Structures are given as structure tokens and as C-alpha cells.
Amino acid sequence: MKVLFAASECVPFVKTGGLADVVGALPKVLAKEGADVRVILPLYKDIGQQWRDKMTHVLYTYINLGWRRQYCGIETLEYEGITFYFVDNEYYFNRPSIYGWGGDEGERFAFFDRAVLEALPLLEYKPDIIHCHDWQTGMIPVLLKRQYSALPFYNGIHTLFTIHNLQYQGVFGIDYMEDLLNLGWDAYTDDKLEFFGACSFMKGGLVYSDEITTVSPTYAQEIQTAYYGERLDGLLYARRNSLSGILNGIDTEVYSPSKDPFIAKNYNVVSHRKFKAVNKADLQQKLGLEQRPDVPLIGIISRLASQKGFDLIEYVLSDIMSMDVQVVVLGKGDEKFVNLFGWAAYRYEGKLAARIEMNNELAHQIYAGCDLFLMPSAFEPCGLSQMIAMRYGTLPIVRETGGLKDTVQPINPLTGEGTGFTFYSYNAHDMLGAIQRAVALYQEDDKTFHKAIRNAMKQDFSWDASAKEYVKLYQRLCPEAE
């Protein structure tokens, strides 16, 4: 089984979110299941020189993009047993950031999608399945079916499209996209690419791919409803027999409290009670928080955006800080919330610390040093942070949506069963109630709280089970390649 992952980002080369973690981790586990998995992504300026030095130039060609004829180089390297291809074009990818720079996102990823297909015969590599990830690769299934499938080389290539976040859809003008891709005007009807008078990459992937997945079973159901469906719920419901939810995993080697090089003291499910406290004290010291072992420390690691529930936090922040708690926030995002936490760090000095940055080392220290982890998302396709937090014995406080619902079992204070604290309605005071329950259990029932920690640390969030589900899907999609 030959599978090509096409994506816009991938750990360890370039990352802005959970998509990169998935594309970096899943191929390695699929390879252990016997699949020949390779990955192709753009060669961004952000990809460091330490990786570029290891790349080998394979070929170059030119890609027709409307009236344009653009250079396309292919570089390659092998990392942890996986072959990676990088699409090189400095005009499109040599920019200060990987997204949102230059106002030509549609053109950049139209180029990338066509380049993926054009490169395959030159690489003498014919995948059985092209596994496309999020809107940036949504035109690959469209181009394959409308322009390439009649050519002998492409005959028999199947496509799988994974939704990581339905909110981001890659919507551009119809005239603009037709000028780039020459799909024919009949492609822009409401049953194909047309989306409220424009053209949607995401819709293209959903309409033209052979199978669709998303990153948790609950999210697969949610997006078939108007509340979560981002105006694509009708299409997703129509394709429900080709839609499945497969829960993401985490890299259990990278996120392992027993051998994490970034934390002050390693620990496991047996030694957590003694050594997690060492990490908590170290984190408090580094962030300028009061050195108190008895106060519950609540961590937040997130993109600072309304989707992540920060409007709820804003509404009841004073109520949260009136409790005997400490809070640490790590992330970047909307100016509104950057300003909120900048003010809060000053107003609640010694109780709240905010670091407006992306800092992987500090993130590991927060997972290890906190007692609780707050994640009140309005919607969450899967979420990785709650899984990582549980692996480090930090109990999550989450809203029951998407992957958060699938991974966090509410704690029953009578039996001690469960792994976290949950609330259902997207409401600030329901969230506050969940925080209050968590703090009360921490302060009043040490035995049950630590039993929940042990429950959480024993959860298996590795990619192994999910990879087997993907292999089954690949085999169903392409039985001749088994």
C-alpha cells in the first residue's frame, strides 16, 4: 500500500498547529503497519537550514498555472524512516510566514496542488492513495478527477481528504480560481465548487475525494449539523456514508513525563505524587508565581482566539482569580486576548503569568507542572493538548465537544472514576462551575484527585489504534493494493 500525505505543514520542519503534529506522527506509525508512506509539503522559508543541509535535489520542472509558467523544484530527505518531498518555489514560499502573507493564498496552494500531481510521474512514484489534509490540499482531488484521471499514469489513484478544522475553508473568487486552474465553468455549480458565489478549496476536497475523514468521532457527527457545519453541513450529511471520524493520537515518545528532557524532574504514574510537585515548584519559580505547593495551578496552552473559549474566560476572569488558584497562559493570537492577559498578568501579579509566544520547552514544563488544564473550546475537532495534559497527570477542564468529549471522561467524586472535569453548554458560568468543582476536589479530596491523575496517566493516546483504523480505511478504499 503506497500512501502519499499532502499537507501544508509537518513536524519537525514547520508548524503552526495540530495539523503539523498529525502529519509528522501518523506516517511513522502507518509505516510500522506495513504501508509505504511518503509526505509532500511546500519548502517554506521557515524550514530551517539544518533541514535544508540534509536535502537532496531530485528534479525541477515548470508548472502551468493559467497563463503563468512557474518553476517547481523537488527536494527530498529521509527522516525517521519516512521519505519527505518539498516543493520549491521561492516566489510562493520564500516569505516571512507560511500563511497570510501577500494576499495570494489561493494562487500559492493552487500551485502546490498542481505541483503535487505533476511531480509524481517525474518521481516515478505512483501512490495508491493521496491522503490530503485540510483546505490547502482541497484542489488535489478536484484536479485529479477533472484533468488527470484519464491519463494512464494517474488511473487507479484514490484520494482521501481529512478535515482538521472545518472553519478554515480556502474561499476565493470563481474568476480568480478559473484563471489559475482552467477547470471549466461547469465546475462552479452548487453541487461542485461553488460556495455562496465563490469557490471553496474545502468544498472541492469534500465533493471530489473518494473518502472523507475527520479527527474525532464526535466531530464527524457534529459537522453534519448547522451549528458546527460552517455552511457545509448539508454536503457532509449527503456524504455521511463516506465520512468517518478517527481520533488523533499524540507522539508518546515526545510527550513522556518519564523521559522528557525539558522538565525539572521526570516521573511516572507511580512517582507522580512526589515528583510532579518538583515540576510545579520549578514552574512557579520560572514564571514569578508565589511559591505555594498547596494552591491549584491551572495551565492554558492555546492559540488565543474565540474558538478556544477565551471569550468565556474573559467574561469570568475576575471570578476565577477571586479563587485560591494560580493561572499560567502560553500562546499567541488575537490582539484582544493578548491585551487581556497582558493586563491580567499585571493586575494579578504572583497569581497569573502570561507568556505571549510559542515556546515548546515551556509548554512541556506547563504540562508537567500544572495540576489542572483549561480548554473550554467552542468547538474542537480533536484537540491534542488535553491528551498531552492527561499523559502528564494534569487533569483537563473541558467543554463536551468534538475530540474533547471523546477523550475526557468526567470524574465521579463518589467512585473516583474519570479523567477530568467537563461542562456542556457554551456558557461562561457553566465553565466557571467546572473550574470550581475541580478546585474543590483538589482542596478537599486528595485521595480522589490523585486517583483521577492515575486514571488519566494510564490512558492510551498513542497513534497505534488510530493507525489501524486508517489502514482499514485505506484497504477498503483500495483493496487491490493490499
Indicate the pTM of the whole model. 0.92
Distance CA(308)–CA(305), nearest Å, equals: 6
Task: Say if residues 384 and 396 touch (Cβ distance below 8 Å).
Answer: no
Distance CA(401)–CA(123), nearest Å, equals: 42
Provide the residue ranges of all domains of the chain, joining segments of one domain with +: 2-249+464-481, 272-457
Nearest-Å Rg of the Cα atoms of the chain is 23
> Can you tell me whether residue 75 is helix, strand or coil?
strand
Task: Say if residues 120 and 127 touch (Cβ distance below 8 Å).
Answer: yes
pLDDT at 102: 82
Superfamily of domain 272-457 in the CATH hierarchy = Glycogen Phosphorylase B; (3.40.50.2000)
Phi then psi dihedrals of residue 94, to 5 deg: -90, 75
> Can you tell me whether residue 460 is helix, strand or coil?
coil
Q: What is the DSSP letter of 145?
A: I
Q: Which residue has the cell 507568556?
A: 355
Strand-pair category, 82-88 with 68-79: antiparallel
How far apart, in Å, are the Cα atoms of 210 and each of 241, 312, 314?
A: 11, 39, 42
Distance CA(320)–CA(327), nearest Å, equals: 9
pLDDT at 18: 83
Distance CA(146)–CA(157), nearest Å, equals: 13
Q: Which of 222, 221, 247 is nearest to 406 (CA)?
A: 247
Dihedral sign computed on CA atoms, order 223, 228, 232, 234: positive
Side chain identity at residue 87, one-letter code: V
The correct answer on CATH 3.40.30.10 for the domain covering 2-249+464-481 is no
Task: Say if residues 372 and 296 touch (Cβ distance below 8 Å).
Answer: yes
Q: From first to last of its 482 residues, what are the pLDDT tens digits of the chain? A: 999 999 999 999 999 888 998 999 999 999 999 999 999 999 999 999 999 999 999 999 999 998 999 999 999 999 999 999 999 999 999 999 999 888 899 999 999 999 999 999 999 999 999 999 999 999 999 999 999 999 999 999 999 999 999 999 999 999 999 999 999 999 999 999 999 999 999 999 999 999 999 999 999 999 999 999 999 999 999 999 999 999 999 989 889 999 999 999 999 999 999 999 999 999 999 999 999 999 999 999 999 999 999 999 999 999 999 999 999 999 999 999 999 999 999 999 999 999 999 899 999 999 999 999 999 999 999 999 999 999 999 999 999 999 999 999 999 988 889 999 999 999 999 999 999 999 999 999 999 999 999 999 999 999 998 999 999 999 999 887 65
Q: Which stretches of 43-179 are assigned E, i.e. beta strand?
A: 56-65, 68-79, 82-88, 129-133, 158-163, 171-172
Q: Cell numbers of 407, please?
A: 477523550
- Greatest Cα pair distance, the chain, in angstroms, is 70
Cis-peptide into 12, omega within 30 deg? yes
Q: Which residue has the cell 480560481?
A: 177
